[in-house]
Amino acid sequence: MIQAIKVGISVGTARLTRARLLRIKTVRRFTRREDGVAAIEFGIVAAPFLALMFAIMETALVFFAGQTLETAVADSARMILTGQAQALGWDQVAFKTDVCKRAPLFDCAGIQVDVKAYSSDFSSVNVGSPVDANGNLQVSTFGYQAGTACSIMVVRLMYQWPVYVAPLGFNLANLSGSKRLLMATAAFRNEPFGSASCG
C-alpha cells in the first residue's frame, strides 16, 4: 500500500515536472521568436503618433486661418481708413461682402463683422472679449459705424472655427460646441478725407 502511494506520488511529481518544463520551453520559445514584433510595436506607437500628427495639422490650420483673417481685416479696414467705404455708401452687408472676397478660406455666412467709431481718443476704445461665461459668442452688440474723417475706428472680424482633434486630448476650443474663436482687430484713425488735418 505504501509502495503504491509512493509510486502515485512519483508519477504525479513527474507529470508536474514535465508540465512545468513544457511551460518553460514554451515561454522560452515565445521570447526567442521575433515574428510580428514590428506589428506590435507599430500598434503601440501608432495611436499616439497619429494623435500628435492630427494635433499638429489642426494647430497649423488654425494659425493659418487666423493669419488669413488678420490679412482680411487689414485690407478691408483700409477701405474705411481712406474713406472709400464711406464714399461708396457701404453698410455692414457691403463691408462683409468685401471681407469675404479677401478671405476665401472661410464660409462667408459664419464671418461676424463689428465696426465701431469713437470720437474722442484711443482710451475710450472697447475691445473686450465678445464671449460670455458659457462660451457663446455675443453678436448682439455688433454693428457697423464707418465713422467720419479723423474718427477713431475699431474693425473686428470674428469666425467660429470648428475643432476636430479635441476628443484626442488636445483641445484648442475656447467656445462651446468644440469651436475656436478666431478674431482679428484693426484699430486706427481715419484719414482726413480732404480736410486739412485731424488736429
Q: Smallest Cα–Cα separation from 190: which of 80, 73, 74?
A: 80
End-to-end C-alpha distance for the chain, whole angstroms: 123
Model pLDDT, residue 3? 55
CA distances from 104 to 26, 69, 98, 101, 180 (A): 64, 10, 11, 6, 18
The residues facing 181 across adjacent strands are 160
Determine the 3-state secondary structure of 163 from DSSP: coil
Digit-by-digit pLDDT tens for the chain (199 residues) are 555 455 455 555 666 677 676 677 766 766 666 777 788 888 889 988 888 888 889 899 999 999 999 999 999 999 999 999 999 999 999 999 999 999 999 999 999 999 999 877 788 887 788 999 999 999 998 999 988 888 899 999 999 999 887 666 667 888 998 899 999 999 999 988 876 677 6
Grid cell listed for 119 = 470720437
The residues facing 137 across adjacent strands are 131
The residues facing 187 across adjacent strands are 154
Determine the 3-state secondary structure of 180 from DSSP: strand
Concatenating the DSSP letter of every residue in 175-198 gives: BTTTEEEEEEEEEEE---TTSS--
Model pLDDT, residue 51? 83
Contact 186, 73 (CB under 8 A): yes
* DSSP state letter for 186: E
Rounded to an integer, what is the distance from CA 143 to the centroid of its chain?
Answer: 26
Model pLDDT, residue 196? 62
